[in-house]
A and B are shown apart, each in its own frame.
Chain A
Amino acid sequence: MDHILSVLVFFPAIAGLLGFVVSKESIRAYGLSVAAIEFLLSLWLWLSFDGSYPGFQFVEVLPLIPSFGINYYLGVDGISLFIVVLSTFITLIGLIALNVEKDLKNMIISLLFLEMTMVGVFVALDAIVFYVFWELSLVPMLYIIGAWGGNLRIYAAIKFFLYTFAGSLIMLVGMLVMAYLYYQATGVWSFSITEWHRLILPENYQIWLFVAFFIGLAIKVPMFPFHTWLPYAHGQAPTIGSVILAAVLLKMGTYGLVRLPLPMFPDASVYMIYPVAILSLIMIIYTAMVAYAQEDMKQVIAYSSISHMGVIVLGTFAMNPEGIAGSVFFMLSHGIVSGALFMLVGVIYDRRHTKLMSEFGGLAHVMPRYGTIMGIMVMASVGLPLTMSFVGEFLSLAGFYQVSHTMTILAGTSIILGAVYMLSLYKKSFFGEVTKEENKNLKDLNGKESMALWTLVLVTVWLGVYPKPVLEPINTSVESLVSFMHKKAITKEAKEVIKPKVIEREAE
């Protein structure tokens, strides 16, 4: 299986095309089996991945436009491997729990296309290929929100599309400049990200390019003040759309930060730590407060996503292995946990066609199994130890502590404010007496929902107790990334701030 990555990228798309000829009755089974095969393939990728080797593996290169140095260039390392697995996993889980009757076929085909673009972004090592998948991912999502969304769906879909599209255009300009600078330096064109990593630029160039890349990525994350498209998108998107948006699509932004600006512009990254950290702090505290003010369950989780993404960005800019490995791990745990939370909100929305917390109360009496899983996921979102989120949050904050004491205390308020909005959500909807007549006879989770949700619970706890299988390969790649950045940095400040493994491991 030399071409496992190509298979992973194009299998869902080809299967999606074939889906047009599959009959309506069997489309669900078809979609499920495609997603399951894709997931198994990604598991195979994980199993045959060498966790002790920090560089790119399963590399594929095929020249596309040689004169401009554009290649079909794929590869995974410890950082991208698990996000690929996360993408295939969440797609499968989302399909299992999928509860759409209208145009089911189109929905499944869109999801399979979306899966292609997601995997494509995370394995692409050529900037153009990366950019193509990055933009393509907007199309199925635009369609999912626009066709299956709520009342404001068209507004939300267009806002989502144009906003992120505008950002990525700025990034595209950055990419073209980068390729040109590479050409100036070496005499040949290249869009290879790994080649770009090796290019050492003067600091002022770095800063401008950093800003170009950062804006494109920041809108995707989404960072304050570019975040307002997200609440609309979540508010209008169908459950499956929100699940994938929160679990995977947002991770493109944070993954991009680790893959592109950090190793490409280490000096600029260090120079920009404080501005970025301040934005992250605003994200963490401000959106946590906004989340508390929400009346709609789904909006609480949407804003909580933004708040948690702030911690991820902060961890990335810690510039040490603890912080970056933590933030990559936090991407995964946020994917699982927020995916599960959106799915849980979907469960109640399917039954009551409302997401307003004031409409509920006492759900724990009526739907005890639902209440249990929600409770577990609320606690995971709050970052309780022995759930996945704790590992990520703890490491991200611990890493950033080395950069700034005060800012980490401020960022740490996320563990307090997170508890405030999450517990009040749980209290308003699940505790108390059942007051509304409509809520008295709600059905508890059905088989599909239980299966999907319990799987997510299992993963959350498993990787919270034993994160090693995932954290170790991430750590290997991150350590080499940080020492690479340290070596590459030209300014004195950057050399000081980027700390490859400060504390030596005890003798083992």
Chain B
Amino acid sequence: METYLYTALFAPLVGSLFAALFADKPKNLVTGIATSTLLLVSWISSVVLLLHVAHGEEVHVKLMDWIHAGGLVIPFGFVVDQVTATMMFVVTTVSTVVHVYSIGYMDHDKSFNRFFAWLSAFVFSMMVLVMSDNFAGLFIGWEGVGLCSWALIGFWYHKESASWAANEAFIMNRIADLGMLIGIFLVYWNFGSLQYDVVFEQVADKEHGLLMMVTAFLFIGAMGKSAQFPLHTWLADAMEGPTPVSALIHAATMVTAGVYLVIRANPLYSAVPEVSLFVASLGAFVAMFAASMALVNRDLKRIIAYSTLSQLGYMFVAAGVGAYWVALFHLMTHAFFKALLFLGAGNVMHAMDDELDIFKMGGLAKKMQWTMVLMTIASVALAGIYPLAGFFSKDKILEAAFASDHYILWTVLWITAGLTAFYSFRLVMLVFFGEERYKIFGFHPHEAYRFMLWALAPLAVLAVIAGFFEHNFVHMIEHILPIEEHHISALTFWTLIVVTQAIALGGIGFAVYKYSKGGFSKKWEETFVYQLLFNQYYIPKIYDEYICKPYGELSKIFWKDLDLKVVDATVDFIATTIYKSGMVSRVVQSGNLSNMLRWMGVGLLILLLAAIFYSPVR
């Protein structure tokens, strides 16, 4: 099994390095094919490992020591247990699809090879993140995905907006990483090790306050990667990257790393209900907050990005109320249908010459039948309609929130389910149905390459059927994660399902009804609420005005007014004073005899006076 583990881990790295060799050469199809093939190899290995660990086994290997100083020993160790295997399956599945799809999507890009080098490097980092057996290894992957995300958001670096968004994403993630790093230090100095197994078995002996600190600081790290409020603004801006990147990194895998961290550290989190409650509350807040912004946005990709944010909120609620397996399950199903939705959106963008405004589209269903079908499947799954994958996982989250007596959380999520259904179908309606507005703007849409559509087929199938594997999943995951027994009656259970389905269907119905009749009137756009939502609650503006600009100003003041005019000037002042005093006293050494005698007289006088005043015999 070790061989499979190393194959799964290193195949993407090999692909990345291979593609990097051609980075500054013109497009070479081989790089795309080679990286995709290697990812397929990695996927096969992951599936083998998944089947192997499904019955409670675990593969644990140590490659070599990495850092060893004082008492701190950090190995490159990798573990494949049920959680990791699930993550590996998700990561390799989505990334294989995305690689194949990108061969078509990036067809005309002159940096084709560079794209694949970074994309595979990302997969490698993500694998390190999920496979490491210690917090430091996790941090390697954590920063690695951040780096790749930076490079891929800024892939079209000639665009100012892209390079800006890349830096924003990196820096915001770094803010969170500091929290994570502090969490790691706390773990080291209090648990004496960074190995998961060593740390988790000591949880019971540790003070509550300490555990609170550890979990809180680690969660700050998770908030950055998973773009939770208030560190969420980078995710929407990250849509500047090529769409396959958005599908892979900013929907299916990297942004779920925060959820993974909480699931992985579940022995810590379940020991501190306060922090867990905070996690769940923040998750519920973000779910609704992000969904509300998606309601009015006009940008195809940003709508999906906000929906990702909202769904991450759902996952945190599940993790926060202790239903870790549900969080992982939703993470998986979400990865499938959200990647599908994004890649479908990629087809639309290609057809529309990279136009993103959904109000310039409409009626595309005629030209892009298959894309329409795929995106509708994804949207239905996202809305959580039976029998698609989203139903099973989202319903479980609502059930878990309700069963753990968090009725407020449940209500928030319930309303959000309605909003989700509404904005998803608003998008579908505006893009694919209704008036063919694109004709006014002179676009000539066309369906994507056939193989790109076929590449999406696996995701579409998974988005439909993944939910039915719930029992197999539970059976596997119970070896490592707690499976709580709900104490709710059958009646409540069925009522919850009916109520949730009702609001989701209601949302869909409203969207279809409204937008088949031409949508909302212009007046709505002038209201305060619309403006507030459309401007993302003015948060990006606030950050820019009250953090970025003052920082820049203060830096300038520090440099020009403090460093040059105070600190350095003091040094120069001392130097010039010494220099000048030398110049002044130079007169003494003039060599003029009568002057010398005069000075001698003065000196003698001073000495005599001193002798009188300080004489011991007075």
Contacts and interface: CB of A to CB of B under 8 A. Distances in A.
Interface string A272-294: 00000000000000100110111
Contact of B556 (A293, A325, A364, A379): A293
Given A292-B552, A369-B24, A419-B170, A412 B67 contact: no
A467 B554 contact: no
A65 interface: no
Interface in A326-368: 326, 329, 362, 364-365, 368
Contacts of A432: 157-158, 160, 163
B583 interface: no
Residue with the greatest number of chain B CB neighbours at <10 A, chosen from A409, A424, A503: A503
Contacts of B182: 401, 405, 408-409, 412
B351 interface: no
Interface string B36-75: 0000000000000000000000000000111111111100
* Interface of chain B, main secondary structure: helix
A504 B69 contact: no
Contacts of B143: 384-385, 390
Contact of B571 (A163, A326, A466, A506): A163
A466 B64 contact: yes
A379 B154 CA distance: 15
Interface residues of B toward A: which range?
35 or more
Contact of A395 (B24, B72, B559, B575): B72
A326 B69 CA distance: 8
A398 B188 contact: yes
B536 interface: no
Interface in B524-570: 551-552, 554-556, 558-560, 563, 567-568, 570
A502 B167 contact: no
Contacts of A395: 67, 69, 72
Contact of B68 (A362, A430, A468, A504): A468
B139 interface: yes
Nearest to A433: B158
A50 interface: no
Contacts of A409: 178, 182
A9 B120 CA distance: 48
A416 interface: yes
B167 A415 contact: no
Contacts of A427: 163-164, 167
Contacts of B164: 427
Contacts of A227: 567
A485 to B, nearest CB: 14
A471 B174 contact: no
Residue with the greatest number of chain A CB neighbours at <10 A, chosen from B64, B71, B73, B560: B71
B23 interface: yes
B552 A293 contact: yes
B192 interface: yes
B170 A225 contact: no
A287 to B, nearest CB: 8
B351 to A, nearest CB: 27
Nearest to A434: B158
B181 interface: yes
A394 interface: yes
Contacts of B556: 293
B185 interface: yes
B147 interface: yes
Interface in B1-39: 23-24
B467 interface: no
A37 to B, nearest CB: 33
B519 to A, nearest CB: 38
Given A162-B575, A322-B72, A505-B73, A386 B144 contact: yes
A362 B156 CA distance: 11
* Interface of chain A, main secondary structure: helix
A355 B150 CA distance: 25
A423 interface: yes
Contacts of B181: 394, 397, 412, 415
A475 B70 contact: yes
A471 B23 contact: no
B256 interface: no
Contacts of B144: 384-386
Contact of A504 (B71, B163, B554, B567): B71
A420 interface: yes
B551 to A, nearest CB: 7
B24 A368 contact: yes
A490 to B, nearest CB: 23
Contacts of B140: 385-386
A364 B171 contact: no
A55 to B, nearest CB: 18
B175 interface: yes
Contacts of B72: 322, 395, 398, 503
B189 A401 contact: yes
Interface in A302-330: 320-322, 325-326, 329
Interface string A155-167: 0000100110000
A413 B139 contact: no
Contacts of B167: 423-424, 427
A225 B567 contact: yes
Interface in A378-393: 379, 384-386, 390-391
B399 interface: no
A228 interface: yes
A151 interface: no
B95 interface: no
A402 interface: yes
A98 B160 CA distance: 35
A27 to B, nearest CB: 35
Contact of A431 (B163, B184, B568): B163
Interface string B189-221: 100110000100000000000000000000000
Contacts of B139: 385
Given A228-B571, A416-B178, A468-B68, A402 B157 contact: no
Contacts of A293: 552, 555-556, 558-560
B10 to A, nearest CB: 13
A493 interface: no
B133 interface: no
A384 B144 CA distance: 8
B551 A471 contact: no
A290 B178 contact: no
Contact of B568 (A228, A286, A420, A471): A228
Contacts of B69: 321-322, 325-326, 329, 395, 471, 474-475, 478
A321 B72 CA distance: 9
29 contacts: A224-B567, A290-B558, A292-B552, A384-B144, A386-B140, A390-B143, A394-B67, A394-B136, A395-B67, A395-B72, A398-B184, A398-B188, A401-B182, A401-B185, A401-B189, A405-B182, A408-B185, A416-B171, A416-B174, A419-B171, A427-B163, A431-B154, A431-B163, A432-B158, A432-B160, A433-B158, A471-B68, A474-B69, A506-B198
Closest 9 A/B residue pairs (Cβ): A503-B71, A321-B70, A431-B163, A293-B555, A228-B568, A401-B185, A322-B70, A325-B69, A293-B559
Interface of A: 159, 162-163, 224-225, 227-229, 286, 289-290, 292-294, 320-322, 325-326, 329, 362, 364-365, 368-369, 372, 379, 384-386, 390-391, 394-395, 397-399, 401-402, 405, 408-409, 412-413, 415-416, 419-420, 423-424, 427, 430-433, 465-468, 471-472, 474-475, 478-479, 501-506
Given A321-B71, A423-B150, A503-B72, 17 more contacts: A159-B571, A290-B558, A290-B559, A292-B552, A321-B69, A322-B70, A372-B23, A395-B67, A395-B69, A398-B72, A399-B70, A401-B182, A408-B185, A415-B174, A415-B181, A431-B158, A506-B193
Interface of B: 23-24, 64-73, 136, 139-140, 143-144, 147, 150, 154, 157-158, 160, 163-164, 167, 170-171, 174-175, 177-178, 181-182, 184-186, 188-189, 192-193, 198, 551-552, 554-556, 558-560, 563, 567-568, 570-571, 575
